[in-house]
Chains A and B, each alone.
Chain A
Amino acid sequence: MPTVKLPTQLREAAGGESAVSVAGATVGEVLSSLFDVHGELRDRLSDGDGGLRRFVNVYVDGEDIRFGDGLDTPVAESQEVQILPAVAGG
């Protein structure tokens, strides 16, 4: 199963875990599985309309999903999905 790496800001809402393995073949499916396990993460990350909040960045093996197909970006079993705050740098 793909692994989801969580930033420090989200770990408390995920029972202190820094990484969680959940099922899914796309980023959207992986996040949906993640939200099923840790419901509070849905409120933090989801815009309530099927998308992500605008200051959330998601990467698959280091590649921003906006360079792929967004939430439809495919995720292989061995890949790592990383969630990070977008507000950094510059």
Chain B
Amino acid sequence: MGATKLTCRECGADYGLEARYVCDRCFGPLEVGYEHDVKDVEHMRRRIMGGPQNIWRYHDFLPLEGPHPRNRTGLPAGCTPLVRADRLAARFGIREVWVKNDAANPTHSFKDRVVSVAANRARELGYDTLACASTGNLANSVAAHGAALGMETYVFIPADLEEQKILATGVYGTKLVKVKGTYDDVNRLCTELSGERDWAFVNVNMRPYYSEGSKTLGYEIGEQLGWETPDRVVAPIASGSLYTKIAKGFEEFRDLGLVRGDAPIMNGAQADGCSPVATAYAEGADFCKPVRPDTIAKSLAIGNPADGPYALDLARRSGGAIDSVSDDEIRAGIKLLAETTGIFTETAGGVTTAVFAKLAERGDIDPGERVVLVITGEGLKTLDAVRGTFESYWITPSYDEFVREVESGVRA
């Protein structure tokens, strides 16, 4: 593998590729370091395109050892559709808008990418139990990947999650632990537990590997656009890991010459009810103050975002911004995406679409741009968000009644 070490992002200390996420010296986060050797760009592109229709086609750029990508077992993630959204683009007079629909993953969110990498690395390191602290989508994914790989799983969630996410996790036969408290309380418990149990907590002690999975979104978007970068990416921010790793994916492929074009402008999207990163951005701060979340976008409800400082740095460095939207704007965003693209997203996708609309209306997006919206999850998991947002007709099976009630426009 091209991965050679773990390096502290704060003090630069190096460690081996083990189950470790924090620098012993300064408590800074560890990140995977690589030494890539791509001499022939065309050959590497062909090698990727000849790989499987999932993230293992990028095997050379992920922190895993064998086996050959075609022989990997478990749930295959990635290679989700990049959908051209001309009707959405036309609403705002923008040349090109694309929707990266990551709801088309095995458990219907981008989390399958990160869990694929973390679970496989956990097996390589000899673990037989996977665990996570989750706002819902990660719970679905960890439970499913554990089932597929034959690993025991423990998933910890805030007790008040959407019912759909709880049901879609329990079905896999996981040990589902509902914790009375917010996601940040769950996360604190799991951070403590990760030191006391010999488990692979995908987003705690396996976090350096886990977060690398999100790079594949950048790789895929570049490949799907014909090995070119888009001008701008709008992505949601919860911990800030996804947002920063998408940019890292573009950066790596640009550095290696695999994709052409400038580094995209990166726009981050949060909900008003949990916007520690957007608030710090607006205040010019380089660190986030924690908040107590209160939003319908529960998958983004992290009040204490681990990668906040790096997300702030990326927004500023890339010429982007981090904005937040209200719960009503989130519902409108879900509806806007559904009505213009046929894609039904969960609340996090409503946040992303609403922030895109806000940027366009504010004139921040040049009409000639090519913009990609990263839609991270499935609308069927947050049905309550659309309940009561439309009306329907009630009739008996009668032609006359259909004409009178429906075609004359009288609504029930």
Contact = CB atoms under 8 A, between A and B. Distances in A.
B22 A44 contact: no
A67 B21 CA distance: 25
Given A55-B26, A55-B27, 20 more contacts: A7-B191, A9-B24, A44-B24, A44-B27, A45-B27, A55-B10, A55-B29, A57-B188, A64-B290, A64-B304, A82-B188, A86-B304, A87-B21, A87-B27, A87-B207, A88-B187, A88-B190, A88-B204, A90-B302, A90-B305
Interface in B175-206: 183-185, 187-188, 190-192, 194-196, 201, 203-204
A53 B191 contact: no
Contacts of A53: 10, 26-28
Interface in A1-39: 5, 7-9
Nearest to A65: B290
Contacts of A90: 203, 238-242, 302, 305-307
Contact of B188 (A43, A45, A62): A62
Contacts of A59: 188
Contacts of B133: 88-89
Main secondary structure on chain A at its contact with chain B? mixed
Interface of A: 5, 7-9, 43-45, 53-57, 59, 62, 64, 66-67, 82, 84-90
Interface in B208-253: 238-242
Interface of B: 10, 21-22, 24-29, 133, 183-185, 187-188, 190-192, 194-196, 201, 203-204, 207, 238-242, 287, 289-290, 292, 302, 304-307, 309
A87 B292 CA distance: 18
B203 A86 contact: no
A51 to B, nearest CB: 11
Nearest to A85: B22
A53 B290 CA distance: 16
B22 A89 contact: no
A57 B292 CA distance: 16
A84 B188 contact: yes
A87 B28 contact: yes
A89 B290 contact: no
Contact of A87 (B24, B238, B306): B306
B156 to A, nearest CB: 10
Nearest to B210: A90
B176 to A, nearest CB: 18
11 contacts: A7-B195, A9-B22, A43-B25, A59-B188, A64-B304, A85-B22, A86-B27, A87-B306, A89-B183, A89-B187, A90-B241
